Amino acid sequence: MKDQFFKLTLVTSKKDTPLSKYLDFIAICVKSGITSVQLREKNLSFNELFRLGKQLQLVLKPLSIPLIINDNVDLAYQLGADGVHLGQSDGCVVNARRKLGSNKIIGLTVDSPEQLYIANTLPIDYVGVGAVFPSNNKSNVATIWGCEGLKKIAHLSIHPIVAIGGINETNASVVMQAGADGIAAIGAFHDSNDLISTTKNLRSIIEGTQYA
């Protein structure tokens, strides 16, 4: 699964949802087509994140779905997670690679072409580009790329591009056509009225666009 992990990433947003209910939610998404989960909970302590990460691993590991930790290399290391996703202010990629090892996934958000040029020289597995569209779930983004911006940066990247920000079933196709290799989403999953259908449809759009 590692070679396809970036296709469809669910970014967590547990909030006040009871743990057992949220794990059921994750399990439905896993069975319906997501290819990785990114643990991103801004309001939890390290210990709370660790406990949640362990519970997520119980759901994900049997099906070989990678767990990627947002921002926190130490948490990824202590959990034995499959990787980490770093923003521009979340520490040194080279140090993260040295600590986690060569077989772990490392992603890096880029907010400008200049940051992408640097990312092209770094030991990472993918770049995160977002927000592609405005999103209620990420209000502090540095850049709104739009599809034209995504298309321009896709031509410059030597790493796979995972697009995020306001992406759902209605616009996923144009995002993929603009050059994304995969999609990460929060609201598309958490706000869905038909989780199975949404997940399957997004995966189908990604696969269909890639191989059209």
What's the pLDDT band for 140 if we cut at 50, 70, 90?
Answer: low
Other CB atoms within 10 A of residue 155 CB: 7
- Predicted confidence at residue 28, as pLDDT, reads 97
- Predicted confidence at residue 82, as pLDDT, reads 97
- Predicted confidence at residue 136, as pLDDT, reads 75
Give phi and psi for 189, each to the nearest 5: -90, -50
Question: What CA–CA distance (Å, rounded) separates 14 from 42?
Answer: 10
CATH code (residue 167):
3.20.20.70
CB 76 within 8 A of CB 66: no
Residue 211 scores a pLDDT above 50: no
Total structural domains in the chain? 1
Summarize pLDDT for 9-64 with one digit per residue, the tens: 999 999 999 999 999 999 999 999 999 999 999 999 999 999 999 999 999 999 99
- Predicted confidence at residue 72, as pLDDT, reads 96
Better pLDDT: 208 or 170:
170
Residue 212 scores a pLDDT above 70: no
Residue 142 scores a pLDDT above 60: yes
pTM: 0.94
Q: Which two tokens stand for residue 151?
A: 């298309």
What's the pLDDT band for 66 if we cut at 50, 70, 90?
Answer: very high
In Å, how far from its chain's centre is CA 150? 16
Residue 205 scores a pLDDT above 60: yes
Residue among 210, 132, 204 nearest 167 (CA)? 132
Task: For residue 165, give its domain range.
Answer: 2-210
Q: Helices 46-60 and 19-32 sit at what angle, rounded to 10 degrees?
A: 40
- Predicted confidence at residue 130, as pLDDT, reads 85
Summarize pLDDT for 148-199 with one digit per residue, the tens: 999 999 999 999 999 999 999 999 999 999 999 999 999 999 999 999 999 9
- Predicted confidence at residue 2, as pLDDT, reads 57
